[in-house]
Amino acid sequence: MKENFIEFYVNKFSYLKTLEDIDISFISPILRRRMSKFDKGILTVLNRVLSDDIENIVFSSQYGEVERLLKLIGQYSEDNEVSPNVFSGSVHNFSLGFYLLNVQKTIPYNALSACEKSLSTGFLSSVIANYDNNLFCYGDISEDNFVSMAINLSKTCKKDSSKYILRPSINENLSDNFEYYIELFTGNKKSIKTPLFTIEKEADND
């Protein structure tokens, strides 16, 4: 029986585990003041990996814009009304739309949430997307801090890209682990298991 697997290449990878590493200098000061911590983390990693050949973006998050959602709930509870600006900013994919608008890119994108499997579901959606050049972005709250990552990946090999193999494997006893992805794509792990698949890094050619 033929083994099922998907080959893909990672061209650029960026992540944030602390807000101290945020860099949104490419956004005007006026707009920066209106951005949440979540926005800043997402825009930082997106801007580090975006390239001109990206054809599709997948964004995933379990909780999304928590800060604005809590503010929205508080406004409604106390004043029985909500700010239109806060409401529009609480949309799940606001950060991505805001980024593309500011860098003047018209790239199709999908945004999803799959509870505790949001990271693996989003990544899988990006790998199997019907485009050659894709960008996957993930952001969420972890241990009272906002974490984010972005991966520029393709179906064909490019200069300085790394090859990976994804094999479908349902691992019900596992949960998504942000750190595993960092260790894999920074070269500290050769393989990882997620709730939905296993990824292995292929040895680099000499």
DSSP three-state, residue 37: helix
DSSP three-state, residue 17: coil
Residue by residue, what is the 3-state secondary structure of 135-148? EEEEEEEECCEEEE
Residue 168 lies in a domain: no
Residue 186 lies in a domain: no
Residue 44 lies in a domain: yes
Give yes or no for residue 185 having a pLDDT over 90. yes
Residue 166 lies in a domain: no
Structural domain span for residue 16 = 12-157
Which tens digit of pLDDT belongs to each residue from 147-171? 999 999 999 999 889 999 999 988 8
Residue 64 lies in a domain: yes
Report residue 141's pLDDT band, with 50, 70 and 90 as the boundaries.
Answer: confident
Q: How many other C-beta atoms lie within 10 A of the C-beta of residue 146?
A: 23
Which tens digit of pLDDT belongs to each residue from 45-72? 999 999 999 999 999 998 877 777 667 6
Beta-ladder partners of 192: 199
Q: What does the angle CA 30 – CA 31 – CA 36 come to, to the nearest 5 degrees?
A: 125
Q: What does the angle CA 84 – CA 96 – CA 183 come to, to the nearest 5 degrees?
A: 135
Residue 62 lies in a domain: yes
Residue 53 lies in a domain: yes
Q: What distance in Å separates the CA atoms of residue 116 and residue 121, rounded to the nearest whole number?
A: 10
Q: What percent of the chain has pLDDT over 90?
A: 57
Residue 97 lies in a domain: yes
Which tens digit of pLDDT belongs to each residue from 173-184? 888 999 999 999
| CATH number, residue 130 | 3.40.47.10
pLDDT of res. 74: 67
Q: How many domains does the chain have?
A: 1
What number of H helices and E strands is found in the chain?
7, 8
